[in-house]
Chain A
Amino acid sequence: MASSSRVEILNEGGLRVDGRRPYELRSVSMTFSPQAHADGSATMQQGLTTVTVSVFGPREPRSRANAIHDRANLVVEVGVAGWSQPGVGQRNRGDKRLTEVGATIRQTFEPVIMSHLYPRSEISIYVQVLGSDGGILPTAINATTLALIDAGVAMTDYITSLSVGLHLTQPLLDLSSPEESDIPYLVVASLPGTGKVTLATLETRIHVDRFEEMLAVGVEGCKILKAEMEGEVKKRTGTMVERMKLNALPDRAGGMKDSDRDILMT
């Protein structure tokens, strides 16, 4: 697994390959409801890695056998665009890896989505990777969080995720593709409110003593990311709420005020 070119992960000035500092995240961009026909969707871009997630549901399960009597059934499917990175078309172990990524995302969100509110229904999450420059899994998880919020699916908290690498003894946050292929790293996803870890995966050897520090750095980074995401979500929610106020039917004969309805809560 030698890297193709000897890239300097960290130069003497303490800067990484793309000029970032060790704990600096890549620039982030979020778009809500890019897929208007889905119940909820979001596109998340971290650096050049772009992932779009569409959420359908809760809705009737496509196969009766999948209906669970007291909770919603979560289905996750992952696809990678052929153009997302060079050489992708040549690999055919793609399939198993994608199934694994889908299973990972499903297991990560299962405890956070309040699925007991939607018995006998199915929530389908479709992940599409459009650009791949390292950190596909973390970006997919972040985009899924936004898409679920966009769809109005009840969750206990955001789930934000980042990759954390290790260069010698220095942890690095949010790795790009050349960094991922060169240094050992782990992907962590956490619930920023409590700082607890809900996903931790690594496939490259890391010494146990270094592991703890990387986890801690990752969890902190996730909190920062959540603040970003929450800001965008609230801003957009605010705009939508303003629009909804338009036309607030009022005093027309026969029209019920929304505030009247509220009291009829069940």
Chain B
Amino acid sequence: MLQVISVPPIPLFHADDVTAEFSKTRHHPDVQDDLDSDMDVDDEYGTGLGVGSSSRAGKNITSPGEVVTSAKEFMRGHGTYTEGDNVLSTVAGTIERVNKLVSVRSVRQRYNPEKGDLVIGRVIEVVQQRWKVDTNARQDAILALSSVNLPGGVQRRKVETDALKMREFLAEGDLLVAEVQSVENAPQLHTRSLRYGKLRNGLLLTVPPSLIRRLKSHFHTLPPPCGPLGVDVIMGVNGYIWVSVSVGERNNAAVEGFVDAEGVYSDVNDDISQSSRLAISQVANLIMLFARYSIPLSDTLLSDAYAWCRDNGLTKSGQMMDKEMEKRCLTEITGMDVREEL
């Protein structure tokens, strides 16, 4: 299984990257009186992103240390702290107000597990009756032996020997998809559904978690002609994405009631055809493209993008897009002017 490390680094100086521009020299107020921090900073930086008013820092954008509101009228939520009579922000992000609750949502954050989240994780340690799983969160998650489906049937009773054979089910380095059962101390996972469990036949991508929304379903399929069998995409809320050969039956296992008892914990990949691999790689590249431009992901976006690629003759040739083409693709699909990577 391949693992692609998130987003490639951008060069320090980009020809059209506005933030790399050298700003004018600053003057101490004694020397230059009109420098005032209340001044409209946007104007000083010349051209914005060229998207008109939407490029200006909106009124509800804040950064650490800034006063958000008065503490007398509002209760404070995440991303804020109180000092005296004021509520101040602790992160850079948008101010959100719900009735009397004020909070600041940070644009970028480490994944914070919540009950019910679907996550993809990697086993890093096997300890007594539990596995420790890395989910790209603040702490490692725990998958208890009692929370997994054991081969031989969903309702099999746990036997003494299972505890000793834990590595035969999941060993260090294995990838799995699971759901967060609870978050006390360390997050607890479970794989008590036939859709969850060990992952194979695909590749893992890492994107910033803020680009993945919490949805009703995180299992998406791009049907053929995307690959001869279709391509499955599992978007873990923690930013890990699994792109694999579509195993149509897998999602319908619960319906058909058929479970390959031994196969669930098998380590062996099936034979994957060349065109399947091509399709998987293309979908993976598209996902990374969206991630580079900080565009939130969804399955419709992906299928639109794939369709665009097909229309532009890229899928057959397997050619990579250059920067210009990338921007065109994104602009056409999202309807927004995307000029730079973030």
Q: Tell me if chains A and B make direct contact, with any CB pair below 8 A.
A: yes
Interface string of A232-243 (1 = CB under 8 A from B): 111111111111
Whether B25 pairs with A230 at a CB distance below 8 angstroms is: no
Look across to chain B and name the residue whose beta carbon is closest to the beta carbon of A262: B98
Whether B23 pairs with A228 at a CB distance below 8 angstroms is: yes
Whether B81 pairs with A28 at a CB distance below 8 angstroms is: no
Whether B28 pairs with A221 at a CB distance below 8 angstroms is: yes
Q: Which B residues from 13 to 49 make CB contacts under 8 A with A?
A: 17, 19-31, 35, 37, 41-42, 44-45, 48-49
Whether B90 pairs with A155 at a CB distance below 8 angstroms is: yes
Q: Tell which of A150, A238, A258, A263 touches B213, judged by Cβ atoms closer than 8 Å.
A: A258
Whether A246 pairs with B334 at a CB distance below 8 angstroms is: yes
Give Cα distance in the complex from A241 to B61, angstroms.
9
Given contacts A23-B31, A230-B63, A233-B63, contact A120 B139 (CB under 8 A): yes
Q: Which A residues from 203 to 231 make CB contacts under 8 A with B?
A: 217, 220-221, 223-228, 230-231
Whether A158 pairs with B65 at a CB distance below 8 angstroms is: yes
Main secondary structure of the interface of A (DSSP, over half): mixed
Look across to chain B and name the residue whose beta carbon is closest to the beta carbon of A230: B63
Give Cα distance in the complex from A173 to B78, angstroms.
37
Residues of A within 8 A of B17 (CB): 31
Q: How far is the CB of B89 from chain A (nearest CB, A)?
A: 9
Q: Tell which of A39, A121, A243 touches B342, judged by Cβ atoms closer than 8 Å.
A: A243
Main secondary structure of the interface of B (DSSP, over half): loop
Give Cα distance in the complex from A33 to B8, angstroms.
10
Residues of A within 8 A of B66 (CB): 230
Q: Which A residues from 1 to 57 make CB contacts under 8 A with B?
A: 20-21, 23-37, 39-40, 43, 57
Whether B64 pairs with A240 at a CB distance below 8 angstroms is: no
Q: Tell which of A28, A31, A118, A155 touches B26, judged by Cβ atoms closer than 8 Å.
A: A28
Whether B81 pairs with A249 at a CB distance below 8 angstroms is: no
**Does B54 have its Cβ within 8 Å of any Cβ on chain A?**
yes
Residues of A within 8 A of B107 (CB): 152, 237, 240-241, 244
Q: Tell which of A35, A173, A192 touches B9, judged by Cβ atoms closer than 8 Å.
A: A35
Whether B342 pairs with A224 at a CB distance below 8 angstroms is: no
Q: How far is the CB of A59 from chain B (nearest CB, A)?
A: 6
**Does A86 have its Cβ within 8 Å of any Cβ on chain B?**
no
**Does A75 have its Cβ within 8 Å of any Cβ on chain B?**
no
**Does B103 have its Cβ within 8 Å of any Cβ on chain A?**
yes
Given contacts A114-B81, A173-B28, contact A43 B94 (CB under 8 A): no
Q: How far is the CB of A216 from chain B (nearest CB, A)?
A: 11
| B residues adjacent to A (C-beta < 8 A) | 5-10, 12, 17, 19-31, 35, 37, 41-42, 44-45, 48-49, 51, 54-58, 61-66, 77-79, 81, 83, 88, 90-94, 96, 98, 101, 103, 106-110, 134, 137-140, 206, 210-211, 213-217, 292-298, 300-301, 334, 336, 338, 342
Q: Could you write out 15 A-B pairs with CB less than 8 Å apart?
A: A28-B22, A33-B10, A34-B9, A59-B139, A154-B90, A157-B65, A157-B88, A223-B37, A224-B26, A224-B37, A235-B45, A237-B57, A242-B54, A243-B295, A265-B103
| Extra 10 A-B pairs, beta carbons < 8 Å, given A231-B44, A243-B296 | A25-B26, A29-B19, A36-B7, A39-B108, A40-B108, A193-B88, A230-B41, A244-B107, A244-B296, A247-B295
